[in-house]
Amino acid sequence: MDKQRLNRYNKGMKEERKGIMETKRVIIKGGHVIDPSQHLDDMSNIYIENGTIVGISAGEPDEGWETAEVIEAAGLYAVPGLVDIHVHFRDPGFTEKEDILSGSQAAAAGGITSVVCMPNTNPPVSSPEIIRDILEKAAKADCWVYPMATITKDMAGAVLSDFETLFKAGAIGFSDDGRPVANARLMQDAMVQCQALGAPIASHCEDLDIIGDGKMNLGKVSRELGVPGMDRTSEDSVTAREIELAAGTGTAVHICHVSTKGSADILRDAKARGVRVTAETAPHYFMLTDELLRKGDADYRMNPPLRTEEDRIAILEAVRDGIIDVIATDHAPHTPAQKQDFIKAPNGIVGLETSFGACMTSLVHTGILSLYGLIERMSTLPAKLMGLPAGSLKAGSAADLMLFAPNEEWTVDPARFRSKSRNSAFKGMTFKGKVKLTLLGGRIVYDDRYSGR
């Protein structure tokens, strides 16, 4: 999205929110501020006026701020609101699972202030009318909602969408997530057209012919359970294809939800060659394995599936090394009834409310990433990658931020989720690192400071 159009979009959103934006002065006082966009990592105060950050400094407040509301942040870290570039809010068409408002409440509880919604809704996001409908609903949401539109018309894989029209209507990029573009020529043409527009294009790397009726990772566990498996060559082959299309055309491509050692190795090689490729993964791919499928619980089924311990370690190393650029959730809600049957259940898990705690526990407290590095991968870099006005506490930015307690332990209880759905692969796990406060445009959209949890 070009900067001028993005500014217009956000101005319009703020006009819609006039009644709920804060119009006072606020000081976030005494917290440890981390902001990779400014190379900040120190104790400071954050000054907010009318929903906008006006400065960051240590010491006592300047004259004129004596009457400001003070939010005490001693013992907490203050960082830019997290940016999740891969979520499914199921709106329109599947709102029994999630809608824009419930999804945004779940995001706020996870410290996430900006999300990019995938277009596999019903109908798919292939028209300006659907984009306008999403943006109108998002005006009252507890996070900024940025829609992606489809690469092919109605995700049918036959004809390319009208990228320019959808882009002008407010789509921030393009993907056929959930149903990959099978035709390589179509995908190549799409990449060239998106490059000309300056719009990101994201690929769900999967060969459906290879997948067949697979339900979980193809390997030892699937064979022992007698469950049809998803061969890793499905992901690896399309990852390689997209990279070579990008290399041959000089365009950029983003690879969604990387789950295999093979794809991580392919990405490592591509980056060494200077190919313009970026990638994401989700916490479950570097924390969990297909051994969990032995429970016969569909809450551990998603696409791509949980893989082996070798894959898990490879994804972890790729995150550590920056081969995988950002961490997203692929938040994919389904109702309890839909997840009841292990084989027949749809793929997908929720992740907005657990992603930060999961990453703190598995990456920061293990020494794999610094806190600074985690905030880069969950806020600053994803915002930059998608061209969003987020991931920063610079003066003039919207006061979208998160306060968290790095050492507070908590147990994942899906019954307490803000999401409509409960299908979490992390249920019952204890994490170390807790979101305490989330602000959107200076407005408190989540507050856990006094819960004692």
List CB contacts of 453: < 8 A, sequence separation 6 or more: 410, 434
* Residue 175 near residue 256 (C-beta atoms within 8 A): yes
Distances 174 to 120, 169, 396, 435 between C-alpha atoms, Å: 11, 13, 29, 31
* Spatial distance between the Cα atoms of 39 and 36, rounded to a whole number of angstroms: 5
Cα separation of the two ends of the chain: 40
Quickly count: other Cβ atoms within 10 Å of residue 122's Cβ. Answer: 10
Alpha carbons 288 and 312: distance in angstroms, whole number: 7
CA–CA gap between residue 265 and residue 249 (Å, rounded): 22
Active site annotation includes 330: yes
144-147 β-sheet, strand order: 82-87, 112-117, 144-147
Q: Which of 160, 173, 165, 168 is nearest to 119 (CA)?
A: 173
**Which amino acid, residue 348?**
G
Give the separation between CA 16 and CA 419, rounded to whole angstroms.
24
Among the listed residues 91, 325, 330, 448, the single catalytic one is: 330
Judged by DSSP in three states, 393 sits in coil
Phi, psi torsion values for 434, nearest 5 degrees: -130, 130
Q: Which residues belong to the active site?
A: 330
